[in-house]
Amino acid sequence: MTVVGLRLGLLALFLAIWEIAGRKVNPLLGVPPSAVLPSLRDLLLLRSYPDLPASLWLTIREIGTAYALAVAAGLGCGFVLGMHRLVGRAWGPMLAALYAVPAVVWYPSLMLFFGLDAASKIAFGFLLGFFPIALAVLAGIRQVNPQLVVVARAYGAGTATVFRRVMLPAMLFTLVGGLRTGLVLCVIGVVVGEILGSKAGMGALINHAYGLLRTGDYVALVLVTLVLVVGSDVLASLLERRARRWTE
Amino acid sequence: MRVRILQIVTVIAALGVWEVVARMGWVDPLFVPAPSAVAPALLKIGRGALAGLADTLGKTAVAYVLSVVLGVSAGVAVGSIRLLREVLSPYVIAFYGIPKILVLPWIVLLLGYGTTPAVFYGVLHGFFPIMVLVMGAVRDVDRTLVAVARSLGATTWQLYWKVLLPAIVPSVLGGMRLGVVFCLLGVLVVEMFAGVRGMGHVLGSYANGFQAPELFAATALVSAASIAIVLALDHLNDRLSRWRG
C-alpha cells in the first residue's frame, strides 16, 4: 500500500516539476502537461492532423508485415541452424556477431535500396525482429534434452510427433520470449525508420511537428505512438502467458 | 576446424553470389554495388571515414563511461534498498522499454546539434540495460551471505564492498558488454538524425548522395569496428572470469 502511494506520489512530483519547468522555459521547447492535454484533444479530434488515422494504419501495417516476415525467417533460419550441428556451430557465432552491430548502420543502405516508402521501414523492422527470434529458436533447441528425443524415437514416434510432443514443450518458454522481444524490436525498427526518413506514417507526423516547432503536437503524437508500442507489447505478453499455461 | 572452414566458405560464397548478382545486372549497381566496387571505395573514403569513425567512437567512449558509472551506482543503490527498489522498479522498466527514438527530436531541440545530444542520447541507451541488470543482481545476492556477514559484525561499508560488489561482478560485466552496443547505437542515431560530424552523418550523406559503393564501404567499416569492440570485451570477460575462478 505504501509502495503504491509512494509510486503515485513520485509520478505526481514528476508531473509537478515538469509543469513548473515547462512554464518557465521557452514555449517552443518546454510543454507543460496542462498544455499537452489541449494538443492531445486537437489531435484526437483530427483538428491538428486530419491524416492521423491513415498514418497510424500505415505504421501498423508496416509493423505487421515486418513482424510476419521476421517470424517466418527467424523460425526457419533458427530451425535450420538448430537441427544441423555443423551448420549451427559455424553460422551461430556469425549470427551473434552480426547481432552485435548496432542495427541502425544498415538503415542508410536499406533506405537507398528500398526507397523512402514503406518498404525500407518494413526491411528495417524485419532486420531488428529477425535476430532475437532466430537466436531464441537456436537457444531453445539446445535446451531440449536429447535423451528425451532418443526415448521418444525408441518408442516409435515420428519426426512430427517428436517435434510436437517433446521438442516444442521443452523450448516453448525460450521461443515465446524471443517472439515477444522480436515484436518489440520490430515496432522500434519501424518507428526509428520512419523518424530517420519517411513521407508517411507516425514518424513522418512526428518529424513534421518537430520541424515546425509545434512542440505540443509533437508530444501528443509521441503519446499516441507510445500507446501503439505499449499495446503491442501487452498483446505479446498475453500470448506469452497463454503459452506458459499450455506447457504447465 | 571444419567449423572454421565452413565459416570461411560461407563468407566467400556470399561475396561470390553478391558479385555475380551485381555483375549480371540483376540489381541496379546504383543501389547495390559489387564487392569489387566496394573495396576500392574503402580506400577512397579512407581518411574522411576514419576521422568520422574516431569522432563517433570518442563520443561513444564518453557515453559508455558515464553509462557504466551511473548505471552501476544507480543499480547498486536502488537494488540494495528494498523500499527504493519496490517504488522505482516499474518506472525503471518502463524507461528501459520505451523506444527512446520518440524523445530524440525533443533532445535535439533542447541540446542542439553536435556532441552533447549524441553523448546524452548514448547514455540514455546505455544506462538502463546496465542499471536493470545490476539491480536484479543486487536483489538476488544470496541472503545467507548478507546475514552471515552482518552477524559477524560487518559494517554497512564492508557489506557493500566485501559481499555485494564481488557477487555482482558477472552481471556488471554482462551489462558492460550489452551497454557498449547500445551506446554506439544511440550515438549513431543522433548523428544520422541531427549530426554534423561522425560516422552516422557520413553514412547518411552517402545515402543521400546515392554514393552506394562509399556507403557500403563505410557501413562495413562501422560494423567491423563494433564487432571488434564486442569481441574484445568478450575476451576481457573470459579472462576476468577465469581470474575469478
Interface mutation target, options B1, B27, B56, B102, chain A, most CBs of A under 10 Å: B102
Q: Are residues B46 and B75 in the same domain?
A: yes
Residue-wise pLDDT for B26-78, tens only, equals 777 777 788 888 888 888 887 788 888 899 999 999 999 999 999 999 999 89
Partner B contacted by A109 (CB < 8 A) = yes
Domain that holds residue B92: 33-244
Mean per-residue pLDDT over chain A, rounded: 86
Out of A100, A107, A195, closest to residue B181 by CB: A100
Out of A100, A195, A222, closest to residue B230 by CB: A100
Q: Which residue has the cell 536502488?
A: B78
Chain A residue nearest residue B184, CA to CA? A102
Out of A86, A112, A225, closest to residue B2 by CB: A86
CA dist B41 and B38 (Å) reads 5
Q: Are residues B6 and B105 in the same domain?
A: no
Mean per-residue pLDDT over chain B, rounded: 86
Cβ atoms of residues B68 and B176 within 8 Å: yes
Q: Is the pLDDT of residue B183 over 90?
A: yes
Q: Are residues B8 and B121 in the same domain?
A: no
Residue-wise pLDDT for A53-75, tens only, equals 889 999 999 999 999 999 999 99
* Spans of all domains in chain A: 37-247
Q: Are residues B126 and B103 in the same domain?
A: yes
Classify residue A158 by burial, with Cβ atoms within 10 Å: 0-12, 13-18, 19+: exposed
Query: B199 vs chain A: nearest CA distance in angstroms?
Result: 9
Q: Are residues B13 and B52 in the same domain?
A: no
Structurally, chain B folds into a number of domains equal to 2
Q: Are residues B172 and B221 in the same domain?
A: yes
Q: Are residues B40 and B28 in the same domain?
A: no
Fold of A37-247: MetI-like fold (1.10.3720)
Q: Which of B98, B205, B6 is nearest to A233 (CA)?
A: B98
CA dist A183 and A238 (Å) reads 13
Q: Are residues B71 and B22 in the same domain?
A: no
Classify residue A7 by burial, with Cβ atoms within 10 Å: 0-12, 13-18, 19+: middle
Q: Are residues B17 and B132 in the same domain?
A: no
Rounded to an integer, what is the distance from CA B39 to the centroid of its chain? 27
Mean pLDDT throughout B86-98? 85
Indicate yes or no: CB of A90 within 8 angstroms of CB of B189: no
Residue A83: band (very low, low, confident or very high) from pLDDT cuts 50, 70, 90? confident
Cβ atoms of residues B78 and B135 within 8 Å: yes
Residue-wise pLDDT for A160-195, tens only, equals 888 888 888 888 888 888 999 899 899 999 998 998
Using alpha carbons, list the distances in angstroms from residue B209 to A109, B84, B114: 12, 51, 21
Q: Are residues B44 and B132 in the same domain?
A: yes
Q: Which three cell numbers stand for residue A45?
A: 479530434
Look up the CATH number of the domain holding residue B231.
Answer: 1.10.3720.10
Q: Are residues B39 and B28 in the same domain?
A: no
Residue-wise pLDDT for B4-34, tens only, equals 888 888 888 888 888 888 888 777 777 778 8
Q: Are residues B128 and B191 in the same domain?
A: yes
Q: How many CB pairs under 8 A join A and B?
A: 126
pLDDT at B69: 94
Query: At residue A58, what is the residue type?
Result: L
